[in-house]
Amino acid sequence: MENNGDKMSKKPNILLISLPYQGHISPMMQFAKRLSSKGAAVTVITPFSANLISDDDRNRSINIEYVSYDHGEGQNIVTVEDYMANIETRASEKLLEVVENQAFDVLVHDSLMPFGVDFGHRHGLKTAIFFTQPCAISSVYYLVYQGKIRCPVQEGADLSFLPDEIPISHVKDLPYDLYHERYPGTLEMLANQFSNADNADWIFFNTFLGLEDEVVNWLSSKWKIMTIGPSVPSMFLDKRLADDRDYGLSLFKPDGDACIKWLDGKDSDSVVYVSFGSLANLEQDYMDEIAWGLLDSKCSFIWVVRDTEKSKLSEKFVEESADRGLIVNWSPQLEVLAHKAVGSFMTHCGWNSTLEALSLGVPMMVVPQWTDQTTNAKYIVDVWQTGVRVKAHDKEKITREDVTKSVKDVMEGTKREELKANALKFKEMALEAMSEGGSSDKNIDDFIAEIVTSSTST
């Protein structure tokens, strides 16, 4: 692993804390590794037992200390407001315990923990907000925070409240909670990410230049923001962090050997990889249509179906797909996407999955569910043109015919050639951003240099 610590007169000491979701933990862990590789001392407060950190990550020469906090998992907390209040109480208690025993320069906290700004400043720390969503999504939530968007947004509404930099013209391309709030209180929670943004010392986004430049520039007119992504393990990008092949903390155990061994027996670009993330719970008819659509496509496939969802697969489908499909509880997604046999990715469009597909040059079929996924899908299909939409906006339900058609579009013919070429273009941009001297790499260097300058001048 590279180490630029000898370039510094003082080693910065940085504290990081994340929300208890895999999609928030993973990019924060990768950012911690990047900071450490550049000579910073790093402490990560994880919302789950530090024992979940992989042995490989612990054994690498990474100057990172892991501390866990009890976020109240299993408690009977009903509302979003109560959930976030509980997180604030428990995270603040652990932060206080940690900062009373060690001197830190900066607190980097999840954007959904806006209390981190005030906590850090009360205890003499500079603060940095870490957004795990793209700038486009965050810009829309900022407009909600400002009161410039009245929700729920009705079908057919005039979207002129959006700046020109956000190319959305259909209500269902907005973040899901703006037109159909799944859990009451969620939209307010997401808008409140900006309640302390004016007081933060740095604002980071897990994105990269070339991906959403116009909206990055629009947000930069509000605050000084830094793109520091894609926060993907280094061995799948620039390979500057030796043996960095996974995020280091996974709430699910992947069936790694089974996946890779099965893929090794398949032809190049012949397999469809299907995963809807760690949270999605598909309705029975939704599950049925995807299953039979995959089977009708005649393509081989790997489908990640969590144990809690497997009862939705019919015995007939499992039996008939046995010779062409592999169904696993969880997968080593990066290794799967990087495998030569994988030709496309059917995805829920979570931001981490989206970045992984872009970073590895894999065309996508989008099946967004909620939150930011609807807007991510819009960018994948219409802005970046690296994927196809499985279900059109004007259709209420997905059908097996939709699934079969999207698989054929992405796996065969001229449409595939166009999608693959665009996907490879963004793969090169992602690599360039994280390589030495790239835009994201330079922003991380500048962040560390600013800490050093600030601490030596006081």
**Amino acid identity for residue 299 in this structure:** C
Q: Is residue 61 over pLDDT 70?
A: no
Confidence of residue 256 (pLDDT cuts 50, 70, 90): confident
Tokens of 179: 């037109």
- Could you give the 3-state DSSP secondary structure of residue 389? strand
Rounded to an integer, what distance in angstroms lies between the CA atom of residue 219 and that of residue 215?
Answer: 6
Q: What is the mean pLDDT of the chain?
A: 91
Q: Is residue 134 over pLDDT 60?
A: yes
Give the start-to-end residue ranges of the domains of the chain: 5-248+436-457, 256-429
Write down the architecture of domain 256-429 according to CATH.
Answer: 3-Layer(aba) Sandwich (3.40)
Percent of residues, the chain, with pLDDT higher than 70? 92
Q: Kindly report the CATH number that applies to the domain delimited by 5-248+436-457.
A: 3.40.50.2000
Residues 6+ apart with CB under 8 A from 447: 128, 202, 204, 226, 228
For 4-26, the pLDDT digits (tens) are 444 445 789 999 999 988 889 99
Is 110 catalytic? The answer is yes
Identified catalytic residue from 57, 105, 110, 402: 110
pLDDT at 5: 42
Confidence of residue 308 (pLDDT cuts 50, 70, 90): confident
Confidence of residue 307 (pLDDT cuts 50, 70, 90): confident
For 225-244, the pLDDT digits (tens) are 999 999 999 999 999 998 89
Whether 256-429 and 5-248+436-457 are alike in CATH topology: the answer is yes
pLDDT at 413: 85
Across 12-86, where does the E strand assignment appear?
13-17, 41-46, 64-68
Is 24 catalytic? The answer is yes
pLDDT at 324: 94
pLDDT at 64: 87
Task: Note the pTM of the prediction, 2 decimals.
Answer: 0.93
Radius of gyration of the chain (CA): 22
For 262-302, the pLDDT digits (tens) are 999 999 999 999 999 877 678 899 999 999 999 999 999 99
**Which residue in 74, 21, 12 sits closest to 43, CA to CA?**
12
